[in-house]
Structures are given as C-alpha cells and as structure tokens.
Amino acid sequence: MILVTGGAGYIGSHNVIALLNAGYDVVIFDNLELGHIETVNTLKNIVSKGKVIDFIKGDLQNLSDIESVFEKYQIDAVVHFAAYSQVAESVKNPQKYYFNNVYGTMNLLCAMLKNDVKRIVFSSTAATYGEPDYVPIDENHPQKPINTYGKTKLMIENIMDDYDKAYGLRSVRLRYFNVAGADSQNRVGEWHEPETHLIPNILKSTFSGGKTFQMFGTDYPTKDGTCVRDYINIEDLANAHVLALKYLEHGGSTNYFNLGTNEGNSVKEVFVSCENVTGKNITLEEKPRREGDPATLIADNKKAKTDLGWVPEKSLNESIKTAYDWECKLTENIKLGV
Ligand code: UDP
C-alpha cells in the first residue's frame, strides 16, 4: 500500500491514477483544505486492475492523525504532496508555510520512522533554485530560493538528507517546473480557489463571467518580453513519480531530479496556443510585472531521463487541450451546482 499525502489535490490526484494504473493500492491522506472531496469520490470510483483506493481525512500538523494511518495500513512507501504552494502568500505569511510544509513533513517522517517505512518520493520544486544563474537549470545548479515557499521545500530536502544519513530513510525529490494539463480522460484536473496559474487563468477568461486575463510583465529580457517557463504535462509528471518509487523499491539511493521538458514557452506563446486550442479570440490586459517572477525558468531534464528512464511525451498543446476540457467540465458543474 502506498500512502499519498495531498492526494485530493491537483498533482496528487493525477498521481493516484498513475499509481493505480501501475498496480499499486493507494491510501490518500488529505485534510481537504485545498483538495476536494469530489476528487476523492471520483478517484474511488476508478476501477483499475482490482486495486484499492482508500481515503483518510487528516492533517499532517497533528502527529496522531498521520500515525493512525500507519497503524491502520501496512504502508510500503510514501508519495508526499500535501503542502501550501502559493509563492506570494508564503512571503506574506511564512509561519503558515513553515508549520504546514516543514513541521507537517517532520510529523510524516516521524510516523514513517516509527513504523520502519524508509522510502519517500517528495514533491519539490524549481523554486528551490531561486533566480537562475544559467538555463537550462540542471540539478547541480545552486539552490538559493528567493521566497518562503521555495525555502520550505529546500529545508525538507535537507532534512531528508540528514534522515538518510542517520536513519537510512531514502528519498527521491522531484523538482517540478510548471505543471500543466489534466487527466486525458477528464476525470480530474487543476482546481484551485483562487486560481493563480497561467493556463487555467487564460482558459477561465473565455467563459461568460470569467475575469479578463491579465498578462504580468511585457518588458522582460526574453524573446518577446514576457516570462519564459517550462510547461510539463501532469500525466508525464505523474509517471515520473511511479518511476521514482520503483527506483527506490529497487534499492536506489537518495536522489533528486528536475521534471521539465528542456523547452521554454513565453506567456505570449502560451496565450496564442490557448487561442488556437479553444478557437476563441481571447481578450487580454497587459499589467506590470508580478513580484518575484524570474524572466526565464527552463529545466535540464537529462538526469531524470537517464537515471529514471523517464520520457515526457506530451506537448504544450495537449496540456492546454486537456486543461480546457477540464475547465469546461468545472464551469458546467459549478453552474449546475454539482
Ligand atoms: N502569469 C500571467 N497571468 C496570470 C498568471 C500568470 O501573466 O494570470 C504569468 C506569470 O507572471 C509567470 C507565468 O505566467 O510569468 C507563469 O506563472 P504561473 O503562476 O502559472 O507559474 P509560476 O512560474 O509562477 O510557478
């Protein structure tokens, strides 16, 4: 049985499906503050290879909540997503982030050690690198996070190194670049309230009553003046977690990998792709730069390809298409009050 913390959220839910398809039984642990019970119910209805999905509502900040999961289930390994992840909020309210992300993870690791569970795949981020010294960013790039969110993730990576040395707890840390898209069968997708990410915000603006899309910053030193990011498809990303789990199962040592495509797209390019995929002329408002946005973030993904055998396959257009299908479903359900 694999424990997935934060399995009711965007990245976690797609990973639950990938784990199920790979033949694992899964127990989801989520406090449903940002995750959705509707997502859990959808996941529980997925039948794949006779595998089981269970759900426990609980909070990592309560040690007893997470300990009870290990008492109830025979956990073999953990995939850990549960975290706050909004950069601006993390700077305004660092206490919230240190308690939830760092202290919460320490409770999880405590419960793991107590129950002799020694493998974890951890959701880390390109934000641990901070302002890049060079791009594409490889895993040897210095980690100098410039916001509290990135700092919490780096602290956890460091804690995991110490726990490996002292207790033999092995980890794989996956450093995500910009995650995009939704389940290709449109069962789950990105569902944040409020939404801050580029692709869902462009797509949401196409629905009646949606806010006009705001483009933050058109004077960056990039090809067209807008920020360049590396958009990695959510299903490709989820597959990397399954490979990381297998890597640990086969005795792989503690490691860390970038998850990205090795390619960058500007905000303007993403915007045009959204117009093409939706077939709509989308209105936009040019705004000043958003604080803390580096001009360019692109992953060097060679290490994950070589060491994990990971092959990201899906294009930006495929991510936008699935994200759009999901936005249509979400908007329809909200309208219907489902
Ligand atoms: N962005 C934008 N309008 C939005 C949301 C994002 O122009 O409504 C820009 C943002 O300034 C950044 C890029 O899109 O340059 C990607 O932002 P996102 O929040 O999706 O991901 P991040 O790179 O911050 O993790």
Architecture of domain 198-229+263-297+314-336: Alpha-Beta Complex (3.90)
How many CB atoms within 10 Å of residue 159?
16
Domain with CATH 3.90.25.10 in the chain: 198-229+263-297+314-336
Rounded to the nearest 10°, the torsion over CA 262, 265, 266, 267 is -120
267 lines ligand 1 (CB under 6 A): yes
229 Cα: distance to centroid of ligand 1 (angstroms): 9
227 lines ligand 1 (CB under 6 A): yes
Domain with CATH 3.40.50.720 in the chain: 2-181+230-259
Chunked into runs of 10 residues, the chain (338 residues) has average pLDDT values of: 98 98 97 97 87 94 98 98 95 97 98 98 98 97 96 98 98 98 98 95 94 97 98 98 98 98 98 98 96 93 98 98 97 73
How many CB atoms within 10 Å of residue 315?
15
> How confident is the model at residue 336, as a pLDDT?
65
Number of DSSP helices (H) and strands (E) in the chain, helices first: 12, 13
For residue 103, indicate whether it is catalytic: no
Write down the residue that tokens 């760092």 correspond to: 102
What CATH number does domain 2-181+230-259 carry, 3.40.50.720, 3.40.50.300, 1.10.357.10, 1.20.58.2030? Answer: 3.40.50.720
pLDDT digits 0-9 by tens, 125-159: 999 999 999 999 999 999 999 999 999 999 999 99
Question: Which residue in 10, 24, 97, 149 is the catalytic one?
Answer: 149
199 Cα: distance to centroid of ligand 1 (angstroms): 8
> How confident is the model at residue 96, as a pLDDT?
98
> How confident is the model at residue 332, as a pLDDT?
86
Nearest atom, ligand 1, residue 201 CA: 8
293 lines ligand 1 (CB under 6 A): yes
198 Cα: distance to centroid of ligand 1 (angstroms): 5
pLDDT digits 0-9 by tens, 172-200: 999 999 999 999 999 999 999 999 999 99
Say which DSSP state 305 is in.
I
For residue 193, give both structure tokens. Answer: 């309230």
Q: Are 121 and 175 in contact (CB under 8 A)?
A: no
How far is CA 279 from each of CA 12, 51, 94, 115, 202, rounded to the nearest angstrom? 30, 39, 41, 53, 13
Write down the residue that tokens 């992840």 correspond to: 85
